[in-house]
Every structure is written in C-alpha cells, then in structure tokens.
Chain A
Amino acid sequence: MSRPVYIVDGARTPFLKARGKPGPFTPVDLAVQCGRPLLMRQPFAPSAIDLAILGCVNVIQDEMNPARVAALRLGLGEQTVAFTVQINCGSGMQSIDTAYRYIRDGSHQMILAGGTEALSHAPLVFRHAATEWFGDMARAGSTFEKAQKLAEVRPGFFSPIIGLERGLTDPITDLNMGQTAEVLAHRFNIDRATADAYAVDSHKRLAAAQESGRLAGEVMPAFDRDGQVHAQDDGVRPDSSLEKLAKLAPAFEKPFGKVTPGNSSQITDGASWVLLASETAVEAHGLTPLARITDSEWAALDPAIMGLGPVLASTPLAQRHGLDVDDIDLWEINEAFAAQVLACLAAWQDDDFCRDVLGYDAAFGRVDRDRLNVDGGAISLGHPVGTSGNRIVLHLANALKADNKRRGIATECIGGGQGGAMLLEAA
C-alpha cells in the first residue's frame, strides 16, 4: 500500500566557499548547526523522529557514519537508528528518497533526511610510495636500518595529492568533472558566452533572493567557535557580469575549453536537512506540510556525459504521470556547470535526442528559464556534493509554497554517470 509522504520542514546552513584551508565546521558540525534550529521550531521533541539518514561523500576520519554522530549530537536519542548514504552528488537526495520510500511503505512515520559536506576539509593524501616508506620506517629496528630507510626518502613523497582533485575525477574514464561538461558543451553546441550569461543570472537570482528575505526560513545562520557568524551563502557575486566572466581562462581544458571557474559550481561547505512525515505524523503533531513527494527516479549513463543525468532521471517522472513540459511549474536542476545545465535543456529541445533516447515522438520542449532555478543555484551558491541534492528538494518545496505553484521537479547530475530526480506537488 502506498501512503502519502510529506515534506513538513527543512533548513540548511549558509553555503560557505572553501578558501584554501579547512573551514570552521566539520561535516557533522554543519549538520548540527542547521539541525538544531530546525528541531527547535518543531512542536514535537526530537525523540519523536524514527530515523535519521544523511548523505555525505567526504566522510572525515573523526566522524565515521556521520548520520549517527549528528543524530546523537542533535538529541534524537540513543535508540534512534541513523545511517549514511553515498551516491556522490546525489547523496543528499538519496537520503530523502530512502526516507520517502520507508514512509510510503508504512514502516516509519517521521524521518530526518539530510546531506552534509565540508569540501574544505578534504584531506591531503600521501602518495602510495610515501605511505609504504612510513610503514617500513615504523618497522625498522636498529638505528642502522632506520638510517638506511632515511636515505631512501624521495622529495616527491612529501608533495601530497589533493584528495578533492582525485575525488572530482571519474575513475572509469579518468575525465575530470569539468571535462565531462566540455564534452556536453561540444555535443550540444553550448558556446562560452551563453554559459557565462547563465552564470551571471545565477548570481543575480541568489543575490535577489538573499536581499528579499526569501531564504529566511531556509538558511539558518551558523556560529563558529571563533565567534564568527555566517549568516548567508558567501560565494555569491552580485556584481558578476559578462565582461568579468569573459576574462577567466578555461579551468580544465586550456586553452580552448569553455568551462571556466566562473561558469562552474563552487567548491563549498554546507549541510541541509529535510523533515519527512506520514499523514499519521502530520495529524498527530498538527504539522503543516510544505509539499508532497509524488515520485522519484534514478538513472545511469556513460560517465563521460554524466551531466545529462537530470534528463534521464526526470523524463520518466513526466512520462509516468503524463506531464508535459508546461505542467512542471518549477524546476531545480543542480548547476554543476552552466554548460551542463544548458546541455540538458538543449537535449529536451532536440527532436532526435528525445525520439532516440527518451522514446518521445518529438522534442519534450523548452524548459522556461523563468521556471528554472528561480533563486540561483550551485554556480552562485556552491556545490557541497553530498548536500546539493537535499538543498534543491528543500528549496523546491519552499518555492512551490511561496509562489503558490502546483508541481515541481528537483534533479541533479551525479559524478560517475548517474542522475536523480524527485517530483513534488503542493500539499
């Protein structure tokens, strides 16, 4: 039996741009920072929550199974089960989807589902040869043996590999994520100026949303141990312009590439939680739902064109529910790269693509820019990989409510060649 599942509330931290050194919060710290006020504003005690699921890609050594650590620090109670999920950039949505299915099937009434990521804490990794040397050195018995080992030191041992760089490279194709966006830009003829214009728009939209107070209930200020207050997403550049972006060099494929730091998502720390409830829980606690989750879908494709994941994951939702492009009032497509989002839009407008790949007779249609990422996206906000999927669902729910819209889809591309999507309807 399928039961209705509601998003009743949610909150996130400001997204904090990584600035070359570890930021003030670990992944769990971030989850606690936004989880505390979220729980504080509920009419029920945290112990009423059945389960916590948290998406996180770069788990740090001190916080194995960050979901459990966060749940205990948030006071959910020793008896509350908590687990962590990982599907790269889809992790924060995977947590919601798992929660959605549990509640739909009737085994749980209220689940806290989140995503967290502190990319600024990604470790420096020693090279394999250096690690071996450390091991031998530790085993070396006599002073003479130690001296011998010392002589084997190579300067290269101490130039560490940046873990994050490896993490953003697909292990099957050895393409960096930015390179997969270059592939799409090439195949769908996305030019540099269009990508840059998309990026400028992202910044303007986020700046406007911050200015108008539209994010007030969604973004909770975070307070670090040095007394600094982080009130808003700090990667936004309200003064961004085509001229400024035009000056940037390609980030991944010099000198001819189209993907620059300016039209890519930012490396960022942040966490987000969504609270899901069954009809029973909504009634028992007198909750007011933001939205209802109607369906979800995951899809997979060649890792080299992972950026088309949203198209492959969202289209079945539209098809299952008999929805045309105009039936979707709001879209949240995670902005991994401007070229990648634009490639998705182009694919839906391409007769051949829609016929051959999606099984339509003709093009699905044009996704109106006024319905897409209305308050900015990962290019202006940043893309804490385990968090983004959660944030777009949360923001879609809030935007549907605020704008009094009926239906929306949140979807993201996933490194490794996958895509995830959720269909939300006004509650």
Chain B
Amino acid sequence: MTDVMDEITPDSMTDAPRPPEVTTWRREEIDGVVTLWLDVPGTGTNVISDTVLRELDGLIDHAAAAQARALVLRSAKPSGFAAGADIDAFAGLDRDAALTLLHQGHAVLDKLAALRCPTVAVIHGNTLGGGLELALACDHRIGLDGVKAGFPEVQLGLHPGLGGTFRLTGLIDPVEAMQAMLTGKSIHDKKAKRLGLIDALVPERHADAAIEAAIAGRLERTERDLKASALRTAPARSIAATRMRQEAEKSAPLQHYPAPTALINLWQDHGGDPDAMQKAEIASFAELLQSAAAQNLIRVFFLRRSLKSGAGETSGIAHVHVIGAGAMGAEIAAWSALRGKRVTLEDVALEPLGQAVRNAVDLYKRKHLKSIDARDALDRMMPDPTGLGRARADLVIEAAPEKADLKEKIFASLVDTMKDGAILATNTSSLRLQSLYDAAPDPARFAGLHFFNPVSKMPLVEVVAHEAVAQATLERLAAFVGELDRLPVQVRDYPGFAVNRILAPYLMEAMTMLDEGMDKHEIDRAALAFGMPMGPVTLADQVGLNICLEVARSLQNGLEDAMPKVPEWLAEKVEKGETGKKAGKGLYDWQGDTPPQSAGPARQGDDVAMRLTDRLILPMCNAAVECLRERVVATADELDAAMIFGTGWAPFRGGPIQYARQRGDVPQALEALARQHGARFTPDAGWSDLA
C-alpha cells in the first residue's frame, strides 16, 4: 500500500540550482532574499572544506553587489547542516600551511559577519564544528526541531579554529560556551534556544515564516544575564578558569590532553576582546594541530570512520532474538531495541527478564529518550520466556553462561525452530568457536558476535570468524553491528579473540604484582598515569573476578607460557563470592574503599613508577604483535581501533601498536623485563615484521 506521508513529502530539501562554477552551494533568490543551500556533492553529510569557504566568499560578494535584502544559509542535506570541518584536508598540514588556511577561512567568515544586509543561518540536525562557526558568523540563527549544535574538536585534541572560541563566548553565557567546547557535547534544540545560541526553534514547516521574522527584526533574542557581563573582567575569568581546569582534569588528564588547557588559557587571557581572541585562536589551533595527542586522536577519528565503513550495506536483520537475560544479553537486547530492532529476549527464569526491562528503562533515561521514544523501544523489546521469537528472528544471539555443554544444548534446540536463512551468533568471550560450530544448526550461518560491557558505552563489537563460516554471514553481522551504531571489527577464532587476548596480560600482571605484595592503589595509578581509562585492579573488579578467572584459564589452556600464573588466592576469592564490584567486595572493598580515579601528581623522572607502567602496558603491546602475526586481526589499524573502542585504551597514544611504533624501544624494554620478571615478557617473534 502507498505510504501517504512519503507521497506528500518532497524528495529533496531544495531544487535550487548550483550557480556556474560552484560545486558545493545551491543558490536561489526570492524577493531579494538570497538563500545559499550548502550541498557538498557525493556525500550525505556536509563538511566545511576549503572549497566550501572559497565558493561562499564569491557568493557573499555577489549578494553584496546585488544589494540583496537578506542572505540565508541553509543545508540541502536532510541529515544536518554540517558535520564539521574537512578533517582529511587539514590533518596532514604543517604549521605554515595550517596558518594560511586558517587566515583564509577567518577572512570569509569575517566578511559574512560584516555584511550589511541581515544574515540568517537555518540549522538542523548535526551542526558541528566549522558548520556551527559558519552559523555563528550570521546575525541570526534559526534552529529546526531536533537540531544538535556543538564543538566536538576537543575529541580530536583541538579546539574550534574558525572563530568558534570568540564568537560562542561572545554570544552566550561564556561559562556555558566554554563547557560546550571543553566537553565536546552537543547542545540540543531546547537548550540551544534557552542559552540564546539560536534565536528561534521551529519545525521545518515554519522555517520560511521564521526567516521572514528574523529579517524583519521580529525575533526576540534571549538576553545575556549579569553573570556574562561580570566575566568581562579578568579577575572573574581567572576564578572561573581555575574551576574549569579542575573539571577538565576529571574527565581527561591535562598532562595527556593539551587542548582543554589551551582553550581555557585562550579565554582567560583574551575573553571579552574578540580581536585578540581571534588572533590567539588561530595561533593556538595551529600549535595544537602539531601535537602528538591531536595527531593520534585524529587518527582515532579516521579509524572509527574506517570501521564504520567496514560495516557495509544492510544486514536484512529486523528481528533479533537474544537467549540469556544476564547483564550482557539484557543490554544487547535493550540497545538493539533502542536502535529500532524488534527484539525478543528469552530466559528460563522470569526475574532476569523483569530486571532486563528495568535496565532498559534506566538506559533509555540515561540516553535522554523522549517518553514516546522510550515507550516505543520498550514495546519493541519483548520478554519472551517461552522462546516465541526463535522462529521469527533473523538473528539469534546466544548470550548464555560460558559453559560449552549448555551452549551446545541451546544450539541443538534451535535446529528445528530457526527460520530459513537466519543467523546464529554466540556472544562467548572465552570459548573457542572451533569447538562450538559443529553444534550449530548451520555452521555457515554461525559466528561470534562479541559485545563489550557496557554495550551502551563500548562501541566495539568483535565479529568472530571460524573455518566453516560463510563470508555472507560475516558481512551481514558487520552490517548489523553498524545498524546498532557500534563498530565491527572482524577477528579470527583465537584464544580471547583480539581484545581479551591483549587485555588479559594487563589484568594478570596486576594480579602477579598484588601477589608480590604491591599496593593496589599504586598499581592502578601507574596505569592511569599512562592514560588508561581504568587501572587493572579496578577493572578486574568491574569486569568480575569470576570472569577474569575464566578468561585467564581459557587463555592459559590455549596459549603456551605467554600468561602469568593465576594466583591461587584469586580462585579462593571467587569461591568466597568476593567477585568484584557487583558483589560489593573483590580486590577493593567497594563499600568503604575508593579506587583511584586519576594518577595523582606526576612524579617526574620516577623510574620505579615508569617501570611499573611498562610492566603493565608493554605485555599488551607484545600480545598485540602476536595477534598481528597470527592474523587475528587483519591490520594494525584495526587492532589499535579495537583496543581503543573496546577498552578505552589510551586514545591519545593511538593504540598499542601505534604506541610501540612511536616509542621505538619496546622489544628491548620487554627483554629487560623478561630478564627481571620471567619469560612471559619475551618479545614476540612478530616484532621484526613491524614496520
């Protein structure tokens, strides 16, 4: 049947033509109002490139010469206004080239800002980085419902560089402005209106009327309050800046991430003086771009994009059936429903199914879903105690406890119930697929789908292959992962696959250190100092000591000599039920103890601390090289990405392989550790192949 809504909705946002010689803009003029539609060819998402700005420059001149009544900037892309600057173009620039480009860009935006006729930006969807800077240079901004405006540059180790720092702090409450730039978080529609970032928030159908109102000066603006004027004084800014530094330190250690410090200094020194702040912004941006942190973080951005593009087209998976409503199964179900999949969640017991619904409610709250969207997601996620969904699902994910015989029993019961063409995936993290696939209804349509905990925060999913799987199965699973807005990386069936194989020595070395009598706080601090998101002792408690033990044992069976011995007291602790954070007690006493959140003051030249860090980090590099040699992951880039997106591995260091390459002396350091602590540190044979 015809979809009526589809029928009455135009296929594109505009039919306006591109002017001669112009590739990235469409232009139309009605009653003296010139509208420029940004429409970068060959992509669904606009980015602000050198070409976009150069062409805009000419179009502004043209509008000025024609004495336009007003100039309106919009985007022809349904997805949003613009996702930011063209990172590919500036990532590799040296300082001088960067400075030249920045000055050219600023000149265009300054020209736009100085235009005598009213200028209006209509922004919708993602309006980020350079896109938002373009809008900030206009007299008025009209937001369409659902607009998300922000400056995510800090995630790339940068701050806004096209005038964002002085224009945003000049427009809205500077503390709110700084917070947006320091966290990189987008400001959503209603908040944008409240802060005065946009002058009006309207549905798309009222855009034209709002533009007319803006041109006629009939839009009321949110006035800045007293606090904003107070912050024009240097002493007030100094106090505020100190607070910002403390806040920033909490989310990212400033010693590793230079951008927040640079941004805060910029504002503290020049806030209230737009000209000075503009000059300083250009200089500071060019400086940051050369930093190792920015270079590595920009690489992480590219890695993310490349994993995303590896997800492929469509999975053909509309209905997912998850078997096992434990923490992992429940979260996979809730997340899949959030992403629009129809989900059935099966468990032999009713209580975990109830708990799963509760957890989904909490997840949707944390994700700020509107109440109707949360309702729809909950409606899509059906607790299914009798397994009705097995026969209807396009994909069955087994997330049962890690017992081979239990999984085989489940697989056997699926033989007659799964529908033709459906895929079976196991979420096992410690069992080998080679020992499981014979039990699957169809080994060609069976693979591993290894999610990381918590699914809502960890973007990585390992798609695990084995010798009997069909390529089409892996491709559909990768596409499914992409549809969940997660990042797929294909791995080979290897003990621990890639991420756990590499992470296990980090955890187990910490156990050995504890065994040697070292202080757990000191161990965790050594890892935090390196930039790991969580110390190994805390992480072990978080993951659960029972699971650590399981993974360690399965690795010890699968690999020879590469793993430290599992201390006996660890098994005893698990026996006693002291399994970590969930149990209230593990290596830390979670009721009374506070594990360290940060490394504390850096201890310069402290060799002992350095050696401690090496002992924890370098075995991961060694295991990463082993994984490359064993072709567990196809490329070093994918491996680094897997560690960053699966574990939060110090992103500004670029991943274990990137870190090893940049540092250069890792094999030698490993040899030294091997002499001191044992053969487990022996450099892998693959180091010689590492370019």
Q: Do A and B come from one complex?
A: yes
- Which A residues fall within an 8 A CB radius of B? 32, 36-37, 40-41, 73-75, 78-79, 221, 223-229, 231
Given contacts A40-B389, A225-B361, A227-B354, contact A79 B382 (CB under 8 A): no
Across the interface, which residues of B come within 8 angstroms of A78, CB to CB? 3
* Inter-chain pairs besides A36-B382, A223-B354, 4 sampled, C-beta below 8 Å: A40-B388, A221-B350, A223-B383, A227-B359
B216 to chain A, nearest CB (A): 32
Across the interface, which residues of A come within 8 angstroms of B384, CB to CB? 37, 40
Instruction: Give Cα A79–Cα B385 distance, bound, in whole angstroms.
Output: 31
Instruction: Give Cα A74–Cα B361 distance, bound, in whole angstroms.
Output: 19
A224 touches B385 (CB 8 A): no
| Interface CB pairs A-B, < 8 A, 24 | A32-B379, A36-B379, A36-B382, A37-B382, A37-B384, A37-B388, A40-B384, A40-B388, A40-B392, A73-B375, A73-B376, A73-B379, A75-B342, A78-B3, A79-B1, A221-B383, A224-B354, A225-B361, A227-B355, A227-B358, A227-B359, A228-B354, A229-B353, A229-B354
Using CB atoms, name the residue of chain A closest to B382: A36
Q: Does B351 count as interface, using CB distance less than 8 angstroms?
A: yes
Across the interface, which residues of B come within 8 angstroms of A225, CB to CB? 357-358, 361, 378
Across the interface, which residues of A come within 8 angstroms of B392, CB to CB? 40
Instruction: Give Cα A36–Cα B389 distance, bound, in whole angstroms.
Output: 11
B675 to chain A, nearest CB (A): 55
Q: Which of B1-15 contact A (CB under 8 A)?
A: 1, 3
Across the interface, which residues of B come within 8 angstroms of A73, CB to CB? 375-376, 379
Q: Is the interface of A mostly helix, strand, loop or mixed?
A: loop
Instruction: Give Cα A37–Cα B1 distance, bound, in whole angstroms.
Output: 26
Across the interface, which residues of B come within 8 angstroms of A37, CB to CB? 382, 384, 386, 388
A224 touches B357 (CB 8 A): yes
B379 touches A223 (CB 8 A): no
Instruction: Give Cα A231–Cα B351 distance, bound, in whole angstroms.
Output: 10
Using CB atoms, name the residue of chain A closest to B5: A78
- Which B residues fall within an 8 A CB radius of A? 1, 3, 342, 344, 350-351, 353-355, 357-359, 361, 375-376, 378-379, 382-386, 388-389, 392
Given contacts A40-B382, A73-B379, contact A226 B358 (CB under 8 A): yes
Using CB atoms, name the residue of chain B closest to A36: B382
Using CB atoms, name the residue of chain B closest to A40: B388
Across the interface, which residues of B come within 8 angstroms of A32, CB to CB? 379
Across the interface, which residues of B come within 8 angstroms of A223, CB to CB? 353-354, 357, 383
Across the interface, which residues of B come within 8 angstroms of A75, CB to CB? 342
Across the interface, which residues of B come within 8 angstroms of A36, CB to CB? 379, 382
Q: Is the interface of B mostly helix, strand, loop or mixed?
A: helix
Across the interface, which residues of B come within 8 angstroms of A226, CB to CB? 358
Across the interface, which residues of A come within 8 angstroms of B358, CB to CB? 225-227
Contact of B351 among A74, A79, A229 (CB under 8 A): A229
Across the interface, which residues of B come within 8 angstroms of A41, CB to CB? 388
Across the interface, which residues of B come within 8 angstroms of A228, CB to CB? 354
Instruction: Give Cα A74–Cα B342 distance, bound, in whole angstroms.
Output: 11
A227 touches B357 (CB 8 A): yes
Instruction: Give Cα A229–Cα B349 distance, bound, in whole angstroms.
Output: 11
Instruction: Give Cα A221–Cα B382 distance, bound, in whole angstroms.
Output: 11
Instruction: Give Cα A36–Cα B353 distance, bound, in whole angstroms.
Output: 15
* A32, A37, A226: most-surrounded residue (chain B CB, <10 A): A37
Instruction: Give Cα A17–Cα B570 distance, bound, in whole angstroms.
Output: 49
A213 to chain B, nearest CB (A): 12
Across the interface, which residues of A come within 8 angstroms of B355, CB to CB? 227
Across the interface, which residues of A come within 8 angstroms of B350, CB to CB? 221, 229, 231
8 closest A-B pairs by beta carbon, nearest first, are: A227-B358, A229-B354, A40-B388, A227-B354, A229-B350, A223-B357, A36-B382, A41-B388
B385 touches A221 (CB 8 A): yes
Across the interface, which residues of A come within 8 angstroms of B344, CB to CB? 40
Instruction: Give Cα A21–Cα B383 distance, bound, in whole angstroms.
Output: 26
* A73, A79, A225, A227: most-surrounded residue (chain B CB, <10 A): A227
B430 to chain A, nearest CB (A): 28
Across the interface, which residues of B come within 8 angstroms of A224, CB to CB? 354, 357
B37 to chain A, nearest CB (A): 31
A117 to chain B, nearest CB (A): 20
Across the interface, which residues of A come within 8 angstroms of B382, CB to CB? 36-37, 40
Instruction: Give Cα A202–Cα B149 distance, bound, in whole angstroms.
Output: 63
Instruction: Give Cα A41–Cα B417 distance, bound, in whole angstroms.
Output: 12
Instruction: Give Cα A75–Cα B376 distance, bound, in whole angstroms.
Output: 10
Across the interface, which residues of B come within 8 angstroms of A221, CB to CB? 350, 383, 385
* A32, A73, A79, A225: most-surrounded residue (chain B CB, <10 A): A225
Across the interface, which residues of A come within 8 angstroms of B376, CB to CB? 73
Across the interface, which residues of B come within 8 angstroms of A74, CB to CB? 379
B356 to chain A, nearest CB (A): 8
Instruction: Give Cα A228–Cα B358 distance, bound, in whole angstroms.
Output: 8
* A73, A223, A229: most-surrounded residue (chain B CB, <10 A): A223
Using CB atoms, name the residue of chain A closest to B376: A73
Instruction: Give Cα A231–Cα B350 distance, bound, in whole angstroms.
Output: 8
Using CB atoms, name the residue of chain A closest to B383: A223
Using CB atoms, name the residue of chain B closest to A217: B386
Instruction: Give Cα A11–Cα B392 distance, bound, in whole angstroms.
Output: 19
Instruction: Give Cα A226–Cα B359 distance, bound, in whole angstroms.
Output: 9
B631 to chain A, nearest CB (A): 42
B382 to chain A, nearest CB (A): 5
Using CB atoms, name the residue of chain B closest to A79: B1
A230 to chain B, nearest CB (A): 9
Instruction: Give Cα A332–Cα B376 distance, bound, in whole angstroms.
Output: 36
* B344, B359, B388: most-surrounded residue (chain A CB, <10 A): B388
Across the interface, which residues of A come within 8 angstroms of B361, CB to CB? 225
